[in-house]
Structure 1
Amino acid sequence: MKKRATLLLTAVILSSQIFAGCGNQKSDESAAASISNSSLLSASSASGASTSTAYPLTIQTRGSDFISIDQTFEKVPERIVTANASSIDMLYRLGLQDKIIGTIAIDNEPGNEWADLYESLPKLGDKMTISKEVIAEAEPDIIIGRSATFEEGTFGSIVELNALGINVYAQKASDMSTAVTMESIIDDVRNLGEIFDVQDRAKEYADSLENRLSTVTKTVRDATGTDIKKVVVMATYQEGNFVVFGANAKLQNGILQTLNAENVMEKGGNGLTLENMVSANPDAIIYITSTRNKDIDVSAKEALLNESLLSSVPAIADKKIIEVPYDAFMDYGVRNFDTLEELADFLYNK
């Protein structure tokens, strides 16, 4: 605790500097050019020469500013803080749940398989109350979450957290500055396997995800022609108004592309009306449910199907509306594979 307190007092001064002592430093332009962000795996892991991690291990990760920053691990991290649902899920699948010493409270219901684990974890705060100071008090070795989480201020940028002696892994699947696909989630699994020296387990699970992705890709290829299915991803439908999630959501757009589908709404927004839905004329609707909107969501699908102004819209006429929990589609983890398979069945087999 004394070491953390000293680091905390000096964080404001140090946060703008390069922290050579922590082994974490911003890469200069030449280093960034030589190390591709498409893979964070070390040379030994990528070549298959060894299934054990050689420490010290240095990887690159990117926060909300999308600047690559080196993270050096001198040994296996033993104390983890998670910042979103999908990071808990991935750690659980890799058998690393006992290393989680705290989490940020999630907004929606946890996945069934790790619900008991989530309930047992200390909650360090929620998105509105958490701070880097509170995180530092928990003394984690590493914090894992989506890129957008790590920004200056309340939660802390990667540089600020490194100043407190905390390494960061921002999920590659959440990096909005790059082309994100389902393969990005698989990369995250492999990268965590290397960081925590569980590479054999990570490879086995990553390979299973690769097989699932290949199966869906073949199903879609066999079932589709050249026509791309038009989809609206929406939420909180009430009295003719609703919210949409746009095609600028990178991973979600990648999911739809895998399914030979496209989000017809270029950008997300609220206050849309029935006229917008008629104009979009989707073949299918993905309706996103959430805990906070459960009172609205319970009757939304039926209300859409019974709306006379939408009767000519293919998604309504063909009753092609599917309800998907928020974290199963909008988060950045392995649960998205369940959703991918569910959507493939919904679009092509029903």
Structure 2
Amino acid sequence: MTNRPIRPLLAAALVLTGVAGCGSVSTASQSPTGSPSAAGTAQAQYPMTISNCGRDFTIAKEPQRIVGLYPGQTEILLRLGLKDRIVAQAQDGVSKPSPDLADELKTIRSLGAKTPPSKEILVSQSPDFVFSGSEYEFSTEQGFAGKDDLLKAGATPYVATAGCRQRRSTGTVEDAFSDLRTLGKVLGRADQAAELEKQARADLAAVTDRIAGRSPVKTAQVFYEGGKLYAIGAAIEVDMLRLAGGRNVFAPTEQRFADFYAAEINAEVVLERNPDAFVFAVQNDEHQRQTVDYLTRTFPGTPAVRTGRLVGVRNATFAPGTLASIEGVATIADGLHPKS
């Protein structure tokens, strides 16, 4: 689980407010004031107005100082060829990096490995575009820079579509493609975004085609940390499970998910549902070992444990607004429906 995984921060995430809204872009009718990026051919037009989480933001010129507030966000910025414009990243310690980007990620300044940066630290980087996976990163109650704080500092805040407060429980993998197109236009990388989307859709189709016709595997989607187990009942995490050929034993209509897409759960509930597989997010190798150990000790009689269907997935793949979700779908599919 990710983007405010249920660490001790769940209570804070539950009280966040906001309104739903997809990311969309409109440009002014005046002649373009921006110049095409060196690596692209599409001419971006500024000023440009984007709609995000129910608010409109106007971007005067192509952003040059970008901050990614979660690993999945930083990774997609790198894949768009924006390394020279990424001035900082945050929460880079909550997930293993994508292997092909690990070296590049090491060279980007970290503003906090486990939590979003404080308002003062973030503003001190003089960003002009800040990309997050959820509204949590802009929570002033936590001491983080709010959206209005960033606007005053000359930066545009952008939340992944599936991370908008009222959208978080109904987000889908498809939302990531909408974000990719918006980022491509806003950051002068429309051509690169189109190529990334084409490849990602092909990769996703390869997975879904491989498992087509197979019966969905009854799966408990969970997150384990600090001795506590949490059930995932909705959001992009469950859409990924569906695409990977799984059927979640937790339903989004359950009362425990009325306020948030995840909830602490006791072992008895899981035992009653007797899953054939477990799918869970992992932050690093040690976290995966701890989770597997807990599930093995706690649910030894379930088909999931007896058959070894314990599928750990890199935490960043569950982040709204990142193409890493395609990687996550592939990992889950391989665990639920092994290649013959």
Identify the TM-score tier after normalising by the shorter chain: 0.7 to 0.9
Partner of 1:163: 152
Q: Give the TM-score normalised by structure 2.
A: 0.76
Partner of 1:333: 322
Partner of 2:266: 272
Partner of 2:65: 79
1:139-150 residue pairs with structure 2 within 5 A? 139-148=126-135, 149-150=137-138
Q: Distance in 2 between matches of 1:76 and 1:330?
A: 25
Q: Distance in 2 between matches of 1:56 and 1:122?
A: 29
Kindly provide the amino acid, as one letter, of the partner of residue 263 in structure 1: N
SS in 2 for 1:95: coil
Which of 139, 149, 162 in structure 2 is aligned with 1:151? 139
SS in 2 for 1:155: coil
- Cα deviation for residue 53 of structure 1 reads 1.6
Partner of 2:279: 286
SS in 1 for 2:166: coil
Q: 1:177 to 1:299 in 2, by over 3 A?
A: closer
Q: Distance in 2 between matches of 1:196 and 1:300?
A: 39
Name the structure where helix makes up a greater proportion of residues: 1
Deviates more, 1:131-140 or 1:190-199: 131-140
Q: 1:113 to 1:173 in 2, by over 3 A?
A: farther
- Cα deviation for residue 77 of structure 1 reads 0.5
- Cα deviation for residue 260 of structure 1 reads 4.2
Q: Which has the larger radius of gyration?
A: 1
Which of 105, 121, 132 in structure 2 is aligned with 1:118? 105
Residue 90 (structure 1) aligned with residue 76 (structure 2)? yes
Q: Is the 8 A contact 2:27 2:46 kept in 1?
A: no
Cα distance per residue 1:315-335 (max 9 Å; x no partner): 223322212222233564222
Partner of 1:263: 248
Kindly provide the amino acid, as one letter, of the partner of residue 310 in structure 1: P
- Cα deviation for residue 203 of structure 1 reads 0.4
Residue 202 (structure 1) aligned with residue 188 (structure 2)? no
Q: Distance in 2 between matches of 1:39 and 1:296?
A: 33
Q: Is the 8 A contact 1:244 1:265 kept in 2?
A: no
| Unaligned stretches of 5+ residues in structure 2 | 1-18, 29-40, 252-256
1:299-310 residue pairs with structure 2 within 5 A? 300-301=291-292, 304-305=295-296, 310=300
Q: 1:303 to 1:57 in 2, by over 3 A?
A: closer
Partner of 1:245: 231
Partner of 1:21: none
Q: Distance in 1 between matches of 2:89 and 2:337?
A: 38
- Cα deviation for residue 41 of structure 1 reads 3.9
Q: 1:184 to 1:301 in 2, by over 3 A?
A: same
Q: Is the 8 A contact 1:152 1:160 kept in 2?
A: no
Q: 1:91 to 1:129 in 2, by over 3 A?
A: closer
1:19-38 residue pairs with structure 2 within 5 A? 37-38=21-22
Q: Is the 8 A contact 2:72 2:319 kept in 1?
A: no
Deviates more, 1:199-208 or 1:174-183: 174-183
- Cα deviation for residue 126 of structure 1 reads 5.0
Partner of 1:349: 338
- Cα deviation for residue 128 of structure 1 reads 5.0
Q: Is the 8 A contact 1:81 1:102 kept in 2?
A: yes
- Cα deviation for residue 73 of structure 1 reads 1.4
Q: Give the TM-score normalised by structure 1.
A: 0.74
Partner of 2:6: none
Q: Distance in 2 between matches of 1:242 and 1:134?
A: 31
Partner of 1:187: 178
Q: 1:39 to 1:325 in 2, by over 3 A?
A: closer
Identity of aligned residues (%): 23
Partner of 1:233: 221
Q: Which runs of 4+ in 1 moved over 6 A?
A: none
Cα distance per residue 1:118-151 (max 9 Å; x no partner): 2212223356572222222211111111232222
| Unaligned stretches of 5+ residues in structure 1 | 1-31, 45-49, 63-67
Residue 40 (structure 1) aligned with residue 21 (structure 2)? no
Q: Distance in 1 between matches of 2:214 and 2:243?
A: 13
Q: Is the 8 A contact 2:161 2:176 kept in 1?
A: yes
Q: 1:78 to 1:129 in 2, by over 3 A?
A: closer
Q: 1:231 to 1:129 in 2, by over 3 A?
A: closer
Higher relative contact order (CA 8 A, sep 6+): 2
Q: Distance in 2 between matches of 1:147 and 1:302?
A: 30
